[in-house]
Structure 1
Amino acid sequence: MYKCSLERMTDKIKTFSKYGDAGHGGITRYSLSEAALQARAEFRKRMEAIGAIIEVDDVANMYATLPGSDPEAKRIVMASHCDSVKNGGNYDGILGVMSAMEVLETVAAEKIPHKHPLTAMIWTNEEGSLYPPAMMCSGIVCYDFLPEDIRSKFKYEDMMKSVSILDQKSTFGEALAKSGYQGDKKYRLSPEKYQYMFETHIEQGPILEDAGNDIGIVDCVLGMFNYRVKFYGQTTHAGTFPMPKRKDAFLAASKAICYLHEKIDALGYPELVYTTGEVVCHPCVHTCVPDFFEFSFDARHEDPEVLEKVLDIVKSCADMDWGGCSCEVTKAWNRDTVYWDKKLVSYVKEAAEELGVSHQYIHSGAGHDAQFAAYMLPTTMIFVQSKDGLSHCEPEYSSPEHCTEGASVMLGAVLKADRD
């Protein structure tokens, strides 16, 4: 079995962590920012050094390809993203890019025979941290293959008009035009040119570490829904209006959140996860009783029947009395569970076994570009253990040894796929 280089991986982790260094252990590397362009230049430099051919499509996705022995064979692509959330870590997304680079570097250094062209890829704007939505450019590229309710959110024209969250006026399209990385649509990922896709990623949770396993063999991305729960009351002066007569939308929402936790926990599904992560309060003035309060509700599970039971509880909020406040429950979006290609999953498992790396099957609760690609191509993912399960924060950490193991497992799986 071939193995990737710990020394090279360690160097890549150290080097890429400089681009967008936030000064306290992590990075802020918005898509198409100066820091992201520096990371892309580093990717290009290292890939050209081993003889890879660089292509860039019309939404700045980058492809570095080592030719194979069969000029008619389709490519096998390994992909992730180089952008981050604000004050994020040095591994989310970029580990998948570094792992893909490491696979190509190992193939070149060891002169490993391969039939298919092998491609390392950078997806643009996976996080959507500066220009929403998340997974923007995989949504654009995979548009024709996505379910209609997802597809409608990724129209090319709309995405080009996505406005920066920082200045509320500059757009993604403008940043793309200025970046120097707006290439040609003909280079886009497609089933005509590509056969399989792999993505290596940090787990972003504690399951592998708690179980004492290094590598996660990912079998699916969990289904989920996101709803908005809104409460309408009456604004009055906080110091003059009697308590019994108030219609406090904030109080109503707080009671509803407690109700949801009690009822949903009583369903007894340990793998079910949910949260209320975003809130809006109006008028949000300390001397005013709130007349409006809204919170998001995000739930995730593999089984659609479990999600349906949770959704019934969420929807029931609209029919209950909340101290004189009315309640409205509206759908933001949802997705079905996306299962990875079983053959590719088996290749990952075989590679882990042959390398003697501790491993287990695991679900992905987070979304990834790979899930959109899966509607287009046979696709799978590999997880690397995350220290303390932390991600999307500066303490995010995966050891160079674990990162190298993840790349080695992907190399082994890709070489198995190369025989097809």
Structure 2
Amino acid sequence: MYQCSLERMTNKITTFSKFGDAGNGGITRYTLSEEDVLARNEFIKRMQAIGAIIEVDDVANVYATLPGSDPTAKRIVTGSHSDSVKNGGNYDGILGVMSGMEVLETIAEQNIPHKHPMTVMIFTNEEGSLYPPAMMVSGILCYDYLPETVKGKFKYEDMLQSKSVLDKTTTFGDALEASDFKGDIANRLSPENYKCMFEVHIEQGPILEDAGKDIGIVDCVLGMFNYRLRFYGQAVHAGTFPMQKRQDALFAASQALCYLHEEIDKLGYSDLVYTTGEIECHPNVHTCVPDEVDFCIDVRHESAEVREKVLAIVKSCTEKPWAGCRCHVERMWNRDTVYWDETLVSYVSEAAKESGVSHQVVHSGAGHDAQFVAYMMPTTMIFVQSKDGLSHCEPEYSSPEQCTAGATVLLNAMLKADAE
């Protein structure tokens, strides 16, 4: 078994954490920003130093490739994203890039024989923090292969028009044109040129730490849906209109939210997760009774049957008189459970066992670029333990030893795929 370098991995973690340093142990690194460009250039510099060939496609994905012994063989690719959420951590996304770099550096240093070209790539705009939606560019790359329930969200022309959440004017297309990373469409990841894909990522949850395991053998990305519930009442003066005559949309929404929690919890599925993380209130004036309020509900579970049971509860909200207000339910987004390629999962499992790394099988509750690639070619993921399960925040942490173990498992799994 081949081993990756703890010293090199530690150096990469330290170096990349400087690009977008937010001052409290984490980063803000929006896609194609000045900070992201610094990270990309560091990636290119280090990969060129080991003789990797650099390519960029038309949506700013960056590819670094070490040729294999067979010039006709398809590439084996690994990678993730370099962008972050606002005040995010030093591991989400970029760990997958650093792990891929470490794999190529180890292959080059130890002169490890391999038939297939080995590629590590940076996906553009996975987070969608500045230009929504999330996983934008992997959605563009895999558009022709995506299920109908998903693909409409990722039309190339529409994505170019996505506006910055900061200035509400600059588009993703503007940022792409202004960058030095708009390359050739012929360089895109595709099943014609690539054999399979691996992605390393931090777990972003507490399952591995609670179990005392360093590495997760990921078997799937959970299916999910996101619906919005809108409540319509009547705006009136907060000080003059009698309580018994009011149609308070915010009060109605709060009743419905409590109802959803009570009814969903009655289903009794301990591995079912759901969240209301966004709410809008109109007119949002303290002297006015709200006339329109909406909130989202995000639900995730492996089983389509379980998700349908939850959805029935969500839709039932339209049938109830919430404080005299009308309720409308609208689907925003949904996806089926995406299962990873069984052969690649077995390679990861074998590599973890042979490397002596503690591990267990886990699901991914979060979405990743790899889940779209899975519709296009065999794909799988490897998780690295997250301390306290924290992610998308500055305390996010995985130890250098765990990160190196993840890269070691990745290296040996990719070599198993190479020998296939």
Give the TM-score normalised by the residue count of structure 2: 1.00
Q: Which residue of 2 aligns with 1:40?
A: 40
Q: Which residue of 2 aligns with 1:175?
A: 175
Amino acid at match of 2:283: P
Distance 1:325 1:166 in 2: 34
SS of aligned partner of 1:344:
helix
1:345 CA displacement: 0.2
Q: Which residue of 2 aligns with 1:335?
A: 335
SS of aligned partner of 2:159:
helix
Distance 1:321 1:135 in 2: 38
Q: Which residue of 2 aligns with 1:21?
A: 21
Q: Which residue of 1 aligns with 2:307?
A: 307
Amino acid at match of 1:235: A
Distance 1:196 1:204 in 2: 24
What is the CA deviation profile of residues 361-415 of structure 1, one whole-angstrom value per residue up to 9, with x for unaligned ones?
Answer: 0000000000000000100000000000000000000000000000000001001
Amino acid at match of 2:378: P
Distance 1:12 1:355 in 2: 22
Q: Which residue of 1 aligns with 2:286?
A: 286
Deviation beyond 2 Å, 4+ runs, structure 1: none
Distance 1:309 1:185 in 2: 43
Distance 2:101 2:377 in 1: 21
Q: Which residue of 1 aligns with 2:155?
A: 155
Identical counterparts, % of pairs: 74
Distance 2:235 2:95 in 1: 49
Unaligned runs of 5+ in 1: none
Amino acid at match of 1:379: T
SS of aligned partner of 1:9:
helix
Amino acid at match of 2:384: V
Alignment of 1:2-13 (within 5 A): 2-13=2-13
Q: Which residue of 1 aligns with 2:68?
A: 68
Q: Which residue of 1 aligns with 2:58?
A: 58
What is the CA deviation profile of residues 107-128 of structure 1, one whole-angstrom value per residue up to 9, with x for unaligned ones?
Answer: 0001100010000000000000
Amino acid at match of 2:96: G
Q: Which residue of 2 aligns with 1:82?
A: 82
Amino acid at match of 2:23: G
Residue 188 (structure 1) aligned with residue 161 (structure 2): no
SS of aligned partner of 1:225:
strand
Distance 2:284 2:66 in 1: 56
Distance 1:290 1:159 in 2: 33
Distance 2:150 2:306 in 1: 21
Distance 1:250 1:405 in 2: 49
1:337 CA displacement: 0.3
What is the CA deviation profile of residues 9-44 of structure 1, one whole-angstrom value per residue up to 9, with x for unaligned ones?
Answer: 000000000000011111000000000000000000
Residue 31 (structure 1) aligned with residue 15 (structure 2): no
1:317 CA displacement: 0.2
Matched length: 420
Distance 1:324 1:76 in 2: 59
Q: Which residue of 2 aligns with 1:104?
A: 104
Amino acid at match of 1:40: R
1:149 CA displacement: 2.2
1:242 CA displacement: 1.1
Q: Which residue of 2 aligns with 1:135?
A: 135
1:152 CA displacement: 1.0
1:322 CA displacement: 0.7
Distance 1:133 1:252 in 2: 29
Amino acid at match of 1:196: C
Distance 1:323 1:192 in 2: 58
1:277 CA displacement: 0.8
What is the CA deviation profile of residues 201-232 of structure 1, one whole-angstrom value per residue up to 9, with x for unaligned ones?
Answer: 00000000001011000000000000000101
1:151 CA displacement: 1.1
Residue 227 (structure 1) aligned with residue 227 (structure 2): yes
Distance 1:172 1:61 in 2: 14
Residue 206 (structure 1) aligned with residue 206 (structure 2): yes
Amino acid at match of 1:42: E
What is the CA deviation profile of residues 98-155 of structure 1, one whole-angstrom value per residue up to 9, with x for unaligned ones?
Answer: 0000000000001100010000000000000001111111111111111122111111
Q: Which residue of 1 aligns with 2:118?
A: 118
Residue 268 (structure 1) aligned with residue 242 (structure 2): no
Q: Which residue of 2 aligns with 1:352?
A: 352
Distance 2:5 2:292 in 1: 56
SS of aligned partner of 2:153:
coil
Distance 1:99 1:188 in 2: 21
1:238 CA displacement: 1.0
Amino acid at match of 2:238: A
Distance 2:152 2:200 in 1: 28
Q: Which residue of 1 aligns with 2:256?
A: 256
Amino acid at match of 1:367: G
Amino acid at match of 1:267: L
1:175 CA displacement: 0.6
Distance 2:149 2:356 in 1: 42
1:66 CA displacement: 0.2
Residue 373 (structure 1) aligned with residue 373 (structure 2): yes
SS of aligned partner of 2:419:
coil
1:241 CA displacement: 1.1
1:240 CA displacement: 1.3
Amino acid at match of 1:15: T
Distance 1:209 1:237 in 2: 52
Distance 1:65 1:217 in 2: 25
Distance 2:185 2:404 in 1: 33
Q: Which residue of 2 aligns with 1:322?
A: 322
1:258 CA displacement: 0.6
